[in-house]
């Protein structure tokens, strides 16, 4: 994809979504049940769409919420539903729609005090905390499309383990929701908002306050405060705007929220690489405003709108590549969490950097390599058998200092605060720590590209068999492994990964766009990386011919 000529520059009025039109479309447009693009479809992070495209409208939220009620009834979940939303324009209307359906079905609902925004990791912790002390199980729904553009909406379900629902759950919810859509919402119950709020089923709790109090169990907040390091935080207009100031005040941190604006058009953002407004805290283009002031702080930190992702900016290294920070975080945690059980596993997605494998091996810990999707880490984090789980897309979580689950969804707060702990404890920035890892394990060149995917290519991915692939060399090296299932848990990766001594590539089709994603990494250099990417595309084209 070519770089947009205004990438990294401030958004103009002409770039902004028409928010009134978007919200009115949520209520006035309905999905057509026979159009696949307008049906409910759960990806790795819930159902996402736009009201303008008839893929995220009131009918969707009514159907999905009723389907979640149906699921929790059959699963015996009788406790409250924790409900939250982020700052996207469609999130609050969907939040109120969900309340109307949940109340009509007699479900108790816990929301943030003052009906304020609620970040994903806070909801995850809230579910876990409630279920530790109650006989009735709670679960959660959050209205967010994560870092997606302003015109998008999203909804995801977190069962009683607090993390993203597994495929068997989301398949049930999607099928039931699409059934409701196809039958004109017959069987879906809802009441007016006034009636819902008058039922006494909706309870306000300071879920954010409870989360903040527990942070001291996860991180060494005392040493961060005593170090006096200056932290600049940009919530990127998201739900974390109501959290960071409270964290700083509670623990006495030298912390400045550099932008406290909440604007559903996100008009303060810089354009991403493709010219879109996208609140991606791992993109140097979207993060241009924070990068411009990084020298005013020892560390500059950022989250996406639902705060499940982290962005780490160091004075001496700029915005860290998410893979680089994952490697640093793992290396530090395995050396500074003495109460974690010896031999606890570390989880990574199979498209994350191979330097993580080398870091974990050098520490003598087992590695669990899983397909893309944070749901694969939930069981291990819940049971305390997985100390850390991380994705290449700047999402991760880890256990508290006692080795217990804290949040089982991606947690941008604790990863940002871990960067501060690393600098406070060691006196060196995370960027400097990564330089040391490179000096020890070599430079790793990593890239992801998107390539066009025909129907033939998508069909070829579904029928891949490693036994029938005739490829014994890749970019000049013998192929050591051809994978269609993840080595960590045997689950299908929905694509292909090939590994050589000094490099690898992985390819998987997008579930929502006519593209497939190719990830590749080389420890030999950029020319070898280019060869990996070129040969990967040629191989995939050959498979589909």
> Residues 225-247, buried b or exposed e (16+ Cβ, 10 A)?
bebebebbbbbbbbbbbbbbbeb
Q: Exposed/middle/buried for 135, CB within 10 Å: 0-12, 13-18, 19+?
A: exposed
The residue among 213, 131, 215, 243 whose CA lies nearest residue 400 is 215
* Contact of 62 with 97, CB cutoff 8 Å: yes
Q: How far apart are CA 512 and CA 515, in angstroms?
A: 9
Q: Exposed/middle/buried for 318, CB within 10 Å: 0-12, 13-18, 19+?
A: middle
Where do the H-state alpha helices sit in 220-295?
221-227, 244-251, 288-292
Going by C-beta distance under 8 Å and a sequence separation of 6 or more, which residues neighbour residue 14?
Answer: none
Going by C-beta distance under 8 Å and a sequence separation of 6 or more, which residues neighbour residue 538?
Answer: none
Q: How far apart are CA 8 and CA 60, in angstroms?
A: 34
In the numeric block, which tokens belong to residue 419?
A: 């960067």
Q: Tell me how far the alpha carbon of residue 30 is from its chain's centroid.
A: 28
Longest dimension (CA), the chain: 69
Q: Quick one: DSSP state of residue 524?
A: S
* Contact of 102 with 201, CB cutoff 8 Å: yes
In the residue annotation, 146 being an active-site residue is answered as: yes
Going from the C-alpha of 478 to that of each of 48, 222, 263, 440, 525, the distances in angstroms are 41, 51, 52, 25, 17
In the numeric block, which tokens belong to residue 450?
A: 């998107």
In the numeric block, which tokens belong to residue 155?
A: 């909804």
* Contact of 378 with 160, CB cutoff 8 Å: no
The residue among 286, 262, 351 whose CA lies nearest residue 147 is 286
Q: How far apart are CA 230 and CA 253, in angstroms?
A: 8
Residues in a beta bridge with 368 = 347
Q: Are strands 386-391 and 310-314 parallel, antiparallel or unpaired?
A: unpaired
Q: How far apart are CA 120 and CA 128, in angstroms?
A: 13
In the numeric block, which tokens belong to residue 543?
A: 């498979």
Choosing from 25, 55, 124, 146, the catalytic residue is 146
Going from the C-alpha of 40 to that of each of 57, 376, 508, 518, the distances in angstroms are 11, 22, 21, 26
Q: How many CB atoms lie within 10 A of CB 280?
A: 24
Q: How far apart are CA 312 and CA 102, in angstroms?
A: 38
Residues with catalytic roles: 146
């Amino acid at each position: 994809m070519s770089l947009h000529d205004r990438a990294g520059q401030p958004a103009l009025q002409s770039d902004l979504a028409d928010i009134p039109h978007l919200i009115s479309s949520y209520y006035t447009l309905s999905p057509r049940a026979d159009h696949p693009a307008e049906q409910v479809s759960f990806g790795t992070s819930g159902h996402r769409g736009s009201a303008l495209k008839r893929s995220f409208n009131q009918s969707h939220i009514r159907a999905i919420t009723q389907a979640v009620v149906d699921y929790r009834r059959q699963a015996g979940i009788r406790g409250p539903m924790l409900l939250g939303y982020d700052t996207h324009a469609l999130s609050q209307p969907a939040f109120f729609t969900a309340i109307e359906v949940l109340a009509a079905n007699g479900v108790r609902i816990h929301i943030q005090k003052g009906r304020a925004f609620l970040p994903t990791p806070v909801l995850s912790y809230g579910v876990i905390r409630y279920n530790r002390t109650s006989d009735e199980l709670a679960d959660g729904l959050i209205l967010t499309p994560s870092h997606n553009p302003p015109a998008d909406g999203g909804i995801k379900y977190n069962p009683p383990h607090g993390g993203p629902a597994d495929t068997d759950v989301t398949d049930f919810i999607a099928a039931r929701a699409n059934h409701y859509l196809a039958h004109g919402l017959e069987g879906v119950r809802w009441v007016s908002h006034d009636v819902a709020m008058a039922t006494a089923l909706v309870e306000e709790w300071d879920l954010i306050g409870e989360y903040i109090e527990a942070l001291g169990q996860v991180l060494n907040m005392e040493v961060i405060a005593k170090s006096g390091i200056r932290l600049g935080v940009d919530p990127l207009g998201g739900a974390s705007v109501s959290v960071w100031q409270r964290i700083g005040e509670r623990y006495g941190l030298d912390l400045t929220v550099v932008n406290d604006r909440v604007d559903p058009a996100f008009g303060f953002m810089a354009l991403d690489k493709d010219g879109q407004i996208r609140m991606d805290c791992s993109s140097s283009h979207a993060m241009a405003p924070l990068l411009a002031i990084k020298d005013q702080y020892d560390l500059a930190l950022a989250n996406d709108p639902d705060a499940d992702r982290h962005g780490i900016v160091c004075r001496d290294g700029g915005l860290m590549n998410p893979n680089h920070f994952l490697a640093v975080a793992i290396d530090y945690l395995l050396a500074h969490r003495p109460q974690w059980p010896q031999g606890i596993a570390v989880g990574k997605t199979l498209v994350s950097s191979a330097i993580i494998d080398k870091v974990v091996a050098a520490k003598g810990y087992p590695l669990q390599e899983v397909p893309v999707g944070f749901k694969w880490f939930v069981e291990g984090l819940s049971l305390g058998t997985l100390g850390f789980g991380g994705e290449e897309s700047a999402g991760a979580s880890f256990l508290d200092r006692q080795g217990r689950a804290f949040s089982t969804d991606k947690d941008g707060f604790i990863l940002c605060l871990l960067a501060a702990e690393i600098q406070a404890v060691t006196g060196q920035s995370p960027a400097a720590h990564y330089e040391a890892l490179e000096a020890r394990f070599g430079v790793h060149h990593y890239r992801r590209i998107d390539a066009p995917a025909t129907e033939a290519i998508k069909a070829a991915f579904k029928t891949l068999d490693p036994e029938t692939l005739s490829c014994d060399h890749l970019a000049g090296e013998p192929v050591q492994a051809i994978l269609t299932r993840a080595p960590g848990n045997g689950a299908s990766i929905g694509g292909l990964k090939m590994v050589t001594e000094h490099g690898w590539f992985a390819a998987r089709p997008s579930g929502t766009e006519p593209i497939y994603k190719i990830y590749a990494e080389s420890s030999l250099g950029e020319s070898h990386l280019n060869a990996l990417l070129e040969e990967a595309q040629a191989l995939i084209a050959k498979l589909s011919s």
